[in-house]
Amino acid sequence: MSAAAVQTVVDLGGEEILGLLAQTERRMSELAAGHGELLARYAGQTIAAGGKRLRPLLVFLAAGAPPPSSPGLLRAAVAVELVHGATLIHDDVLDGSSLRRGRPTVFAAGGRSMAIATGDLLFSRAFAELAATGSVEAVRVLARASRELAAGEVMQRADAFATNLGVERYLERCRLKTAVLFRAACELGALQAGGPADALAGFGEQIGLAFQILDDVLDVTGPSERTGKPRGADLLDGTVTLPLIVASRRDPEIAALDLRDIQTPADAARLSDRIAATDALDDARNHALGLVRGAKDSLPRLPRRQRTALELVADGVVERYT
C-alpha cells in the first residue's frame, strides 16, 4: 500500500488507530532492547527499518473502526509484526540477501549466526507478548501461522529452480509463506474484540495471497529503489513465481531455460524483460485482482466504517503495482 492509501485507512479508523500504531512502534522498540548490545542493535535496526505496518493495521481494523481500547489488542498487533520481522531476517539468511528495504540486512551486517539469533529473539518476544494476553486461542492462532510459515520456507527451498512448477503448488507456497500471517492478523483482531474471527481470517488470507503475487510481479518490474532489492532477485536465487510460470507456457525459450544459468543482475534483467514481453505480468495482476474482489465479497456484515476501511486495505494491496 502507498503511504497515502494507508493514511486514508487510518483516517477512517479514527485517531485511535494512529495512537495504537504509535504504541506498537514504542512497544516493539522496548522489546528489542535489553538483550545485550549486539542483539539489541540488530533487533532495533530491524524494527527501525519500518514498513507500512500493514499487519498491525489489520489487527486493529479487524477489531473495529475505531478499535476498542484493549491491552490485548496492542499485544496481538506487536506479536504479529515481530513474527513478520523475524521471518524476514531468517529469509535473508536462507537467501543470502544483502539488502532489505534498501538497507543492509542483519545477515550482511552481522553474519549468519547473528541474524539467526536476532530472528529467534523477535520470535520469542512475540510469543511472550501474546501469552501475556492470557488467551490460549490467540497463542494457538499465531503458533499455527508460524508453523505454516516454516513449512512455506521449506517448500520454497524444495521448489528452487523448478521451472515446471504448477500454479496450484505456487499458490500454496504463497499461502504458507505470506498469506497465513495476514490471516492471523485478522483473526487475532477479531478474537480480541469478540468479532467474526473465521470470516475475517478468510478475508486476510485472500488479500495476503494477492499481496504475495503482486510482490512477485514487482520483482520482475522493479525498479530496485522501489522494491529495496535488485530487479529479478527471485530469478537469481531460483524462486519460481507466477509471472515466470505463465511466461514459460507462452515462450518456449523461457520454458527450456535452466534458472541456474541466471548468474548476474544483468542476466536477471534480461529475463525479466522477456517475461514482461509475454504479458504474463498482466495475467498475474489479474489473478491478484480476482483475489481482492473475492476477499471483499467475503466480508461478513460489519459496521460501514469498518467494512470500508478493510476494503481500502484490500484495494491498496493491488495498488502497489500501479
SS3 content of the chain, % helix, strand, coil (to 5): 75, 0, 20
Give φ, ψ of 188 to 5 degrees.
Answer: -65, -40
* pLDDT computed for residue 7 by the predictor: 74
How many CA atoms are closer than 13 Å to the CA of 247, on its beta-carbon side? 24
Indicate the SS3 state at residue 229.
Answer: coil
Under DSSP, the state recorded for 67 is: P
How would DSSP label each residue in 250-310?
A: H-HHHHT--GGG--SHHHHHHHHHHHHHTTHHHHHHHHHHHHHHHHHHH--S--HHHHHHH
> Which run of H or of E encompasses 104?
strand 103-104
HEC sequence for 3-56: HHHHHHHHHHHCHHHHHHHHHHHHHHHHHHCCCCHHHHHHHHHHHHCCCCCHHH
Cβ proximity of 150 and 174 under 8 Å: no
Under DSSP, the state recorded for 320 is: T
What type of residue is 166?
G
The C-alpha cell at 20 is 495504537
For every one of its 322 residues, what pLDDT tens digit does the chain have, with 9 covering 90 and above? 666 777 777 777 777 888 999 999 999 999 988 777 888 888 988 888 877 899 999 999 999 988 988 899 999 999 999 999 999 999 888 888 887 777 888 888 889 999 999 999 999 999 999 999 999 999 999 999 999 999 999 999 999 999 899 999 999 999 999 999 999 999 999 999 999 999 999 999 999 999 999 999 999 997 666 666 778 989 998 999 999 999 999 999 999 999 999 999 999 999 999 999 999 999 999 999 999 999 999 999 999 999 999 999 999 888 765 5
* pLDDT computed for residue 45 by the predictor: 85
Task: Look at phi and psi of residue 282 and say left if phi exceeds 0, alpha if psi is from -120 to 50, else beta.
Answer: alpha
Indicate the SS3 state at residue 98.
Answer: coil
* pLDDT computed for residue 224 by the predictor: 64
pTM of the model: 0.93
* pLDDT computed for residue 1 by the predictor: 67
* pLDDT computed for residue 223 by the predictor: 67
Cβ proximity of 203 and 188 under 8 Å: no
